[in-house]
Chains A and B, each alone.
Chain A
Amino acid sequence: MNEFSFSPREWGQRLAAPIDAVLLAFLALLLGYALLLMMSASPERLNNQLINIAVALVAMRVAAQVPPQRLMHLALPLYLGGVLLLVAVALFGDVSKGARRWLNLGFMRIQPSEIMKIAMPLMLAWYFQKHEAMLRLRDWVVATLILLLPVALIARQPDLGTAILVLAAGFFVIFLAGLSWKVLVALALGGLASLPVVWTMLHDYQRQRILTLLDPEVDPLGKGFHIIQSTIAVGSGGILGKGWGGGTQTHLEFLPERHTDFIFAVLSEEFGLLGNTFLLVLYALIIGRGLMIAANAPTLFSRLLAGSITLIFFTYAFVNMGMVSGILPVVGVPLPFVSYGGTALVTLFLGVGILMSIHKHRMLVQK
């Protein structure tokens, strides 16, 4: 066989080499399910979403190619660059819908907080790997500062949804790195005690969202409208749902943001409890596979990174479904791998790619 000759099989093998077939199979099922939903919720966006998925898969494949050691080198510059961009946003960012989240680069607009979703676990995993030999109190404090600086910048924009995701990503690394249970309990109690203080720091619309959650019927046509309508959509779906394309809440436009943050309500309405359970199982499988990869990872860095990324998938899913079904306040968190939108999808698949890379490279270090 000629070195330069084209062999589809060989190319296919090379292309698939860093890919984890199990994880990809679960994701393929999930994406198929998501596209089916999109065809009902917003068929005119199907083509765009297909393009988004294609781009995200390329990002995944690229990330899967990069060995964890190389990722370690990226951690610090990515983190510092991300923080600098966040500062730039705070100073020169574009305002849209009352929040300063975007940085206009002239040719495109970027949302630096999105970078932090990857940069944060990378940075902390790198930091713990570097100080692996001896973890002192000082290291925990530094880790906490590394975590809180960008979270504070993002929360100030304000973008509560992303802030929560970045905070969670960092917290998972610290938790998995072995922060003592005593400190965790103390933090939890301290957190509860500081709630009143946090309350005073929240923006009006954020407070409103929380109040609305507690009793949406107070303002059924205003702030409570979204949450009431999405709860009605979920509840009216019943066990088997109203059938694909048969959701009245969805198709008569009672549901807000039905293709993005509230797509789960469409699923609940049209496919019922059965469809929801199927989604929960798919997520559980993906998360389980991710945790397995983390458990088998060779270095502290890759373990922490893989664990954190996996748990971030969980955080997305839990916050989104909790919000749509009315047990969590409305924050802008999409349903992972399902909601319409390119940015979130690319970020998520970068995470998947990193997981795959960690999985493929699990033996190398040990050799």
Chain B
Amino acid sequence: MMRQAEFRNPEQELDRFQRRLAVAGGFVLFAFFLLFSRFFWLQVIQHEHFQTRAEDNRISIVPTVPNRGVIADRNGVVLAHNYSAYTLEITPSKVADLEDVISELATLVDIQPKDHKRFRKLLDESKNFESLPIRTRLTDEEVARFIAQRFRFPGVEIKARLFRQYPQGALASHALGHIGRINDRDIATIEKSDAEDNYRGTVHFGKTGLEQKYEFELHGQAGYEQVEVDAAGRAVRVLSRTAPVSGNNLTLTLDAKLQEVAEKAFGKRRGALVAIEPSTGGVLALVSVPGYDPNLFVDGISPPDWEALNTSEDKPMVNRALNGAYPPGSTFKPFMALAALELGKRTPQQAISDPGFFTFGGHTFRDDKKGGHGMVDMYKSIVQSCDTYYYVLAGDMGIDAISGFMRKLGFGSRTGIDIEGESEGVLPSQEWKKKRFRKPEQQKWYAGETISIGIGQGYNAYTPIQLAQATAIIANGGIIYRPHLVKHIENTGTGARTPVEPSPLQALSFKPGNIATIRQAMVGVNKEGTGARAFAGAEFVAAGKTGTAQVYSLKGAKYEVGKVQERLRDHALFIAYAPAEQPIIALAVLVENGGFGAQSAAPIARQVLDYYLLGKLPKSAAPEDEEAVEDE
């Protein structure tokens, strides 16, 4: 091995050294060749691949969210629009300790427990990679404070976002509906419409009302920006830009001022009012009170607000006009009378003698007027709201004839108004009962059940919009238009307007004489009948009909207003149209637990018509007429 010592031999030594040096030099060249090969592989053979990857690194496609369309009433009063505001947003996946970051942020901007709770809720509902607002609508000062400290908060940014705003607050809230942050159900809707691309970057979605129904009109077309980004994902410059196209604007048939008058007329009472323009089907007012402030929902409602809305006994989130089904009470009588005429069961002159009650199958059906109305023909039966007349009539007609006719007027079917949440109501018939009940003895229709149907009680239950629609059909001589809220959709780019529902759905060929009889009687109601007190001194001729719907069966005991708890009072109803000769408005009013129709519903209708026909603004909510008696 190495035991042998090496003796000095300078030349041999130098020779060996130089050979070693040559080996080292060779190795250097070999190593450099190796590196060159590697560079050649990366820069020539694989160049395209890495070129693409470098471009992918550098270029990011950022969607630009379009402006949501504006919603305005028929006169241009803005009901929903957008404004730009700064939000402070956290991307949870980029933050190590959320609580730490939030409490640090709270030293710079005002973060209330409410904001914190809302953030938590959004966090539960969201994917981890999207940024969520911890505070919205920052003041300029807060923005400045945060910007100065931004470096301390990776994963937290200020974003300028467009916010939906409902400048009229709770006005027409059930018609407008509201938007809210996109959730899984909305994503499913978007996917079903193949609109994922268009919704990249969009955080809001219409949840109810018009905002929901016209979501795809209002949303608009997303734009795209090709931006160069750095390693931290910050945009360095914009390479190309495709501008977004704003959503379409909606012009409603709704009259905001009328809506306001109508809502105020209710005062603190609960109820609904639907006013329709008979010649078009355009909805002039759609009231469900109490309403709610849709602004609360725009960026995620805070849990306390949600709690308050949800637990309120007044159920402000329920759209009573479309979703509530109530017995129509005596407002049903004009339609019954029309049915009788059309089906040849009565002539206008045919009269009955009313003893104040009607006995059928051993059961006594009472009229509200003790001793009865005496001789009652069709006119008087409507004007004075005689029950006995209709007990007899209903018995004569039979349930299936009644339901067959009423279906034509839209009772028991959705009207097809352009917002969701309509209920069908209940149009009772033998068929209906068979489907409704399980037990054979319950499935059978008893002739006795038909009697109270005649005065709008029993199984009858209709939505206020069905009642308003039927009234509009009478006012319009039998021509049916689908009720709708949107008058036209305006393309913000071209300015082109697409009208909604310009032609009639169907014309019911009623005999003109029959319609005239009913309309004459309804005018009589407000002139000399149950509506006369409410319409005293009116400068126009309005047709109407009062109604009272029983909430609670008193089992034969006399109904006494003062003695029944407020919530057990009857619902008050009123239907009307005006002017009687050339109707431009038809409406139905419902006041929950309002007592008699003449007492609380008719005065509301009076205020609404006073405003719509004469421009008269009421000084206060419609008064309750304690003197009014439903002489039914």
Contacts and interface: CB of A to CB of B under 8 A. Distances in A.
B50 A236 contact: yes
B8 A137 contact: no
Contact of B42 (A133, A231, A318): A231
A322 B53 contact: no
A100 to B, nearest CB: 27
Contacts of A32: none
B47 A236 contact: yes
A24 to B, nearest CB: 21
A318 B32 CA distance: 7
B42 A325 contact: yes
Contact of A321 (B21, B29, B35): B35
Nearest to A297: B17
Given A252-B228, A284-B29, A325-B42, A175 B20 contact: yes
Given A132-B8, A180-B2, A252-B236, A325 B24 contact: no
Given A175-B24, A178-B17, A254 B57 contact: yes
Nearest to B25: A291
Nearest to B31: A318
B54 A248 contact: yes
A292 to B, nearest CB: 9
Contact of A238 (B34, B44, B58): B44
A276 interface: yes
A253 B232 contact: yes
A151 to B, nearest CB: 20
A327 interface: yes
Interface in A303-320: 303, 307, 311, 314, 318
Contacts of A248: 54-55, 57-58, 228
A176 B15 CA distance: 11
B38 interface: yes
Contacts of B44: 238-239, 273
B46 A134 contact: no
A137 B49 CA distance: 54
B25 A252 contact: no
A232 interface: yes
Given A140-B2, A252-B57, A235 B16 contact: no
B50 A235 contact: yes
A88 interface: no
B17 A236 contact: no
A89 interface: no
Nearest to B33: A280
A311 to B, nearest CB: 6
Nearest to B232: A253
A254 B231 contact: yes
Contacts of B13: 178, 300
Contact of A234 (B3, B50, B228): B50
Given A280-B35, A307-B24, A234 B2 contact: no
A90 B17 CA distance: 37
A239 B2 contact: no
Contacts of A322: 35, 38
A349 interface: no
Interface string B3-39: 1011110000100111011001100110110111011
B68 to A, nearest CB: 34
B229 interface: yes
Contacts of A172: 24
B25 A303 contact: no
B310 interface: no
B498 interface: no
A238 B29 CA distance: 23
A232 B58 CA distance: 12
A325 B42 CA distance: 8
B31 A235 contact: no
A160 B144 CA distance: 46
A172 B40 CA distance: 29
Given A175-B20, A254-B231, A318 B57 contact: no
A178 B47 contact: no
Query: Chain B at the A interface: mostly helix, strand, loop or mixed?
Result: helix
B7 A134 contact: yes
A252 B21 contact: no
B104 interface: no
A136 B57 contact: no
A284 B32 contact: yes
Interface string A273-294: 1001100100110011001001
A216 interface: no
B51 interface: yes
A179 B606 CA distance: 116
Interface in A256-281: 268, 272-273, 276-277, 280
A295 interface: yes
A357 interface: no
Contacts of A277: 36, 39
Interface in A224-260: 229, 231-239, 248-249, 252-254
Contacts of B43: 234-235, 237-239, 268, 272-273, 276
A318 B24 CA distance: 14
A252 B230 contact: yes
A236 B21 CA distance: 37
Interface residues of B, number: 44
Contacts of B231: 229, 252-254
A250 B228 CA distance: 13
B554 interface: no
B39 A253 contact: no
Nearest to A304: B17
B512 to A, nearest CB: 79
A17 B6 CA distance: 38
Contacts of A288: 25
B21 A176 contact: yes
Contact of A235 (B18, B35, B51, B229): B51
A135 interface: yes
Contact of A236 (B24, B28, B53): B53
Contacts of A294: 21
Given A235-B42, A280-B36, A137 B21 contact: no
Contacts of B16: 178
A362 to B, nearest CB: 13
Contacts of A276: 36, 39, 43
B2 A231 contact: no
Contact of A303 (B17, B29, B49, B228): B17
B557 interface: no
Contacts of A232: 50, 53-54, 57
Interface string B517-554: 00000000000000000000000000000000000000
Contact of B49 (A140, A235, A249): A235
Most chain A beta-carbon neighbours within 10 Å: one of B34, B42, B230: B42
Contacts of B47: 235-236, 238-239
A291 B19 CA distance: 11
A252 B50 contact: no
Interface in B64-107: none
A287 B38 CA distance: 21
B294 to A, nearest CB: 41
A252 B24 CA distance: 40
Interface of A: 132-137, 140, 172, 175-176, 178, 180, 229, 231-239, 248-249, 252-254, 268, 272-273, 276-277, 280, 283-284, 287-288, 291, 294-295, 300, 303, 307, 311, 314, 318, 321-322, 325-327
13 contacts: A176-B17, A176-B20, A248-B58, A254-B57, A277-B39, A280-B32, A280-B35, A287-B28, A295-B21, A307-B20, A307-B21, A322-B38, A327-B38
Interface of B: 1-3, 5-8, 13, 16-18, 20-21, 24-25, 28-29, 31-32, 34-36, 38-40, 42-44, 46-47, 49-51, 53-55, 57-58, 228-232, 236
Given A252-B57, A325-B42, 14 more contacts: A132-B8, A133-B8, A134-B5, A134-B7, A140-B2, A176-B20, A229-B57, A229-B231, A236-B50, A272-B43, A276-B39, A277-B39, A280-B35, A295-B18
Q: Which 3 pairs from chain A and chain B are nearest by CB?
A: A235-B50, A236-B54, A134-B5
